[in-house]
Structures are given as structure tokens and as C-alpha cells.
């Protein structure tokens, strides 16, 4: 059985796009708007995620020791802490060193420390943890476990900042996902309609092709390719506009918006996935329309 390859369908699709230029141009424009919103949310999400990771990397858990803990007990505790999952490094901070650090941090306000007499700070261990422990629930579980160890007075970590960042990330994730699904459905709908218009404008040709022995694949191929081109094209335009807007941001705005992870544009693999995803949505839109028409 003879047949044509993808190039044939591509050429036929480009002919079809030219024949229904205005309709397809409108579809590309509408898809661009929808994908611009999706791209924007993805940009915010990825930058927020990188901020959370950066905070997670810097996150330290302070394990304050009880008074009177012997060096042997302290070493035993250090050994136990090192075996805790997610703990990367255990550093001992003697009380004198902690006070010196505090003095440095309070430079200019040393008066606050006057009159303390004896050093009120306890010996402590600083734990560096993996970034996946930036999840508040895991962090809390670690703190509760360590608190019960012999010789431990108190455990503290930046609970509030971790919780706030995670809440924000969750909000952007769920909001963005909901919006992406809604806009994805809209893209399918837009493509489905533009392909349907193309089908109606060429219904005589399609009917004739069926009469002269065209297979379903031969008839549908160019329309599916049209859907893919329009949708992927719309997505590419949206990303180009987003990139232009991103790079046109004034320096002050960049500094203001930069989180602990910095501010960066969508990575290449995300752009590739978005354009590919746009093409798949176009394919789906075309598929629904063509099948309904031929039935």
C-alpha cells in the first residue's frame, strides 16, 4: 500500500492554513492570550519554587543542650543526630561562640547584652538539613523526635518562614493548575472550532475524497496537523511575548521581585514542554472536530 509521509500532511496543512487565513489568525491570537496566562503562572510558580528551595537549603535547626551535659553525652547525641534522615551536617556551637555571634549580630546595640552577667546561652548543635525537609510537617516531625533525646533542652527552626513559603507555593500550584486546566480546555475548544470551520469550508472536497477512495487518515491528517501548527504557533508567540516582557522589566522591579533563589525566565525544557503541550492540545482539538464531522 502506497502512502505519503508527515511532510505531505504538513504541506497540505500549510495550504489549508493559508486558505482559511483569517480564522486561523484569530485562533492563533486567542491561543496566544490563553498561553500567555499559563506561561505567566508557570514563571511565578518556578521562581517561587526556587525561592523555597533556596530557603530550604539555608534552613538550619538549632538543638539547644541542657546544662551539665558531659562531653561524652554530647558526642553520643551528635552521633544520634547524624543518623536522622535528612540531616546533612551536625555542627557543635559552644555557648561562648554563640554569644560572640550574637554580639556581632547586635552590633551597635551591645547595650542590650550588658548586665546579663553570666552567658545565658546554652551549648547547641546546628543541623543542616536536606531541602526536602523544608516541608513544615517533616521539619516538625524531626524537631519533635530530637526534642526527646537525652540532653536536649529545646529545638528551634524557622517554622514560620517555612510555613508561609509553602502556603504560597501551594496556592500558586493549585491556582496555576486549575487555571492551566481551564485554559487547556479553552485551547482545545478554540482549535476544535477553527478546524470545524476549515472542515465546513472544504466539506465538498472531503466528500469527494471519500468517494474517490481516500482513507480516513488521508482526510484527517492535514486537519490534525493544522490544529497542531495553530496551537503550537500560538504558544510560541505567547512565550516570545512573555520573554520580551520579562527582559524589559526595569532593574528595580527585578530586585524587588527577586526572592532568595533569584529571578529567572522559564528554562528551555519548560519552553519545549509548553510548545509541545500546545501542539498536543491542538491535536486533540482537531481530532475531536474531525471525528465529529466525519461521523
Partner 1 sequence: MIHLYRVSKSYEGIPALREITLNVDKGEFVFVTGASGAGKTTLLKILFCAERADEGQIIIQGMNTFRLSPSSIPYLRRNMGFVFQDYKLLQHKTVYENIALALKVVGTPYGEIERRALTALKRVGMDNKDHLTPPKLSGGEQQRVAIARALVNEPQILLADEPTGNLDPQSGQDVFRLFKEINLKGTSVIVATHDWETVRKMQRRIVVMERGRITTDSKDQALERTVPANNGRGASKP
Contacts of 2 (CB under 8 A, 6+ apart): none
Indicate whether 109 belongs to the interface with partner 1 (CB under 8 A). no
Indicate whether 215 belongs to the interface with partner 1 (CB under 8 A). yes
Distance CA 53, CA 261 (A): 7
Between the alpha carbon of residue 252 and those of residues 67, 143, 257, the distances in Å are 49, 39, 9
Indicate whether 4 belongs to the interface with partner 1 (CB under 8 A). yes
Choice from 75, 97, 110, 205 touching partner 1 (CB under 8 A): 205
Distance CA 95, CA 55 (A): 26
**Shortest CB 221 distance to partner 1, Å:** 12
Closest by CA to 125, choosing from 68, 79, 190, is: 79
**Shortest CB 212 distance to partner 1, Å:** 5
Structure-derived torsion over alpha carbons of residues 99, 100, 105, 110, reported in degrees to the nearest 10 = 80
Choice from 3, 68, 108, 250 touching partner 1 (CB under 8 A): 3
Choice from 67, 213, 244, 250 touching partner 1 (CB under 8 A): 213
Torsion 218-223-227-230 (CA) sign: positive
Indicate whether 6 belongs to the interface with partner 1 (CB under 8 A). no
**Shortest CB 207 distance to partner 1, Å:** 8
**Shortest CB 214 distance to partner 1, Å:** 4
Q: What angle do CA 79, 80, 85 make, to 5 degrees?
A: 115
Distance CA 200, CA 54 (A): 54
Of 54-62, 108-116, 172-180, 209-217, the segment contacting partner 1 by CB under 8 A is 209-217
Indicate whether 141 belongs to the interface with partner 1 (CB under 8 A). no
Indicate whether 179 belongs to the interface with partner 1 (CB under 8 A). no
Nearer of residues 212 and 248 to partner 1, judged by Cβ: 212
Tell me if 193 sits within 8 A of 247, measured CB to CB: no
Nearer of residues 196 and 202 to partner 1, judged by Cβ: 202
Q: What is the CA radius of gyration of the chain?
A: 30
**Shortest CB 284 distance to partner 1, Å:** 22
List the x/- string, 217-246, binding to partner 1 by CB under 8 A.
-x----------------------------
Choice from 214, 241, 263, 270 touching partner 1 (CB under 8 A): 214
Distance CA 258, CA 144 (A): 33
Size of the site for partner 1 (CB under 8 A): 16
**Shortest CB 253 distance to partner 1, Å:** 53
Indicate whether 249 belongs to the interface with partner 1 (CB under 8 A). no
Nearer of residues 23 and 232 to partner 1, judged by Cβ: 23
Contacts of 54 (CB under 8 A, 6+ apart): 259, 260, 261
Where residue 86 falls (left for φ over 0; alpha for ψ -120 to 50; beta otherwise) is: left
DSSP three-state, residue 92 = strand
Q: What residue ranges bind partner 1 (CB under 8 A)?
A: 1-4, 204-205, 208-216, 218
Amino acid at each position: 500500500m502506497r502512502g505519503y509521509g508527515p511532510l505531505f500532511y504538513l504541506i497540505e496543512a500549510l495550504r489549508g492554513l493559508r486558505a482559511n487565513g483569517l480564522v486561523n489568525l484569530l485562533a492563533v491570537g486567542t491561543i496566544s492570550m490563553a498561553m500567555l496566562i499559563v506561561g505567566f503562572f508557570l514563571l511565578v510558580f518556578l521562581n517561587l519554587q526556587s525561592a523555597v528551595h533556596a530557603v530550604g537549603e539555608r534552613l538550619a535547626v538549632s538543638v539547644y543542650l541542657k546544662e551539665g551535659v558531659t562531653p561524652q553525652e554530647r558526642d553520643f547525641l551528635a552521633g544520634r543526630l547524624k543518623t536522622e534522615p535528612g540531616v546533612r551536617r551536625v555542627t557543635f556551637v559552644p555557648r561562648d561562640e554563640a554569644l560572640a555571634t550574637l554580639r556581632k549580630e547586635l552590633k551597635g546595640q551591645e547595650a542590650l547584652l550588658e548586665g546579663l552577667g553570666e552567658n545565658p546561652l546554652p551549648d547547641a548543635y546546628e543541623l543542616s538539613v536536606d531541602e526536602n525537609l523544608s516541608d513544615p510537617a517533616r521539619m516538625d516531625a524531626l524537631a519533635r523526635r530530637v526534642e526527646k533525646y537525652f540532653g536536649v533542652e529545646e529545638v528551634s527552626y524557622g517554622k514560620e518562614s517555612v510555613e508561609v513559603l509553602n502556603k504560597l507555593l501551594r496556592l500558586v500550584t493549585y491556582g496555576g493548575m486549575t487555571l492551566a486546566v481551564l485554559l487547556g480546555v479553552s485551547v482545545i475548544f478554540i482549535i476544535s472550532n477553527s478546524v470545524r470551520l476549515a472542515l465546513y469550508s472544504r466539506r465538498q472536497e472531503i466528500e469527494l475524497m471519500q468517494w474517490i477512495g481516500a482513507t480516513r487518515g488521508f482526510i484527517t491528517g492535514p486537519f490534525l496537523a493544522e490544529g497542531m501548527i495553530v496551537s503550537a504557533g500560538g504558544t510560541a508567540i505567547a512565550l516570545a511575548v512573555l520573554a520580551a516582557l520579562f527582559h524589559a522589566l526595569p532593574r528595580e522591579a527585578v530586585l524587588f521581585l527577586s526572592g532568595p533563589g533569584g529571578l529567572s525566565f522559564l528554562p528551555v525544557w519548560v519552553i519545549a514542554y509548553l510548545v509541545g503541550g500546545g501542539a498536543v492540545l491542538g491535536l486533540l482539538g482537531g481530532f475531536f472536530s474531525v471525528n465529529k464531522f466525519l461521523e
